[in-house]
Amino acid sequence: MATLKMGTRGSPLALAQSAQAARSIESLHPGLSVETVVIKTSGDLFGAPPPEVAKTLPQGAKGLWVKEIEQALLDGAIDFAAHSAKDLPALLAPGLCISAYPEREDPRDAMVARDGLAWKGLKAGMKVATSSLRRQLMIAAAVPGVELLPLRGNVDTRLRKLKEGEFDAMIIAVAGLKRLGRGEVPCEPLDPSVMLPAPAQGSLALEIRADRKDVAKIVGSLDHPATRLCVEFERGFLAEIGGGCGAPVGAFAQAKPGGVFLECFFAAEGETAGRRVSGLCSEVSKKDEFVRTLAEKVKRA
């Protein structure tokens, strides 16, 4: 039986979503086995660096969560890697490419709250937990005076803290709950008009060495064209805005009859409020020019 080695981080979410990708590949290619190789990254070992350090890194802060995995690909220690696409830096290591974006899970953020509390019931003074600066800025804009708290730990730890009353609500990704098999947890998905998702949120990225045509043929069988279209618009904006250093960035693309509609959010370092821009790209072939124009627009807004 032929075997492909798949690299992934060792977090519960990383293992759950990579296992789904592995089983899908095996089902499409009978006789093929996918072996999971857990790789600890610099981000896992040392956490996120301060912004002044992140600016000096070739791939920004996001790169610390993929650097060792990408090196394993380049060295041939693994055949492909499974990432949360929203955790990928805008620029991949030279010689690598994304062979597949499997069909996207729900890209929205959601509020998980104490009994009886809905988004419309949030008021000044209530405690909302999230460690995402993007989410913090959007919450503060929607509900002035809310108290924002950091959110750490795995999903079970976070749910326990909520139950114990450390905060009134927390904001997490819908996709994370579903992929961890926690779809039963009561949550309120938030409309992107309120909480714009991070670029590529809810999608997986299967990365390979660009010269591995044999692997591309196998892994590429999971590629979902509609997901790739939207995710590449979102990641294109991320690249243009320079969002790899921890700056709060949101981007959500939707395929429409007249083209691709892209809404974006950005705040520069130190700003306490972000700005939104949006537009319809009627010619997909002009994606790069389109996202560059949006990035310039939001920086000037």
Distance CA 68, CA 63 (A): 9
Q: Tokens at residue 24, please?
A: 């899908």
Angle between helices 225-241 and 287-300 (to 10 degrees): 40
- Who contacts 11 (Cβ-Cβ below 8 Å, separation ≥6)? 44, 154
Beta strands, E only, 150-222: 169-173, 188-189, 204-209
Query: Annotated catalytic residue: which of 87, 115, 168, 211?
Result: 87
Q: How many CB atoms lie within 10 A of CB 191?
A: 10
Distance CA 133, CA 45 (A): 22
The span from the first CA to the last CA of the chain, in angstroms, equals 57
Is 288 assigned a catalytic role? no
Distance CA 83, CA 97 (A): 12
Q: Tokens at residue 210, please?
A: 């660009």
Q: Give the catalytic positions in this structure.
A: 87
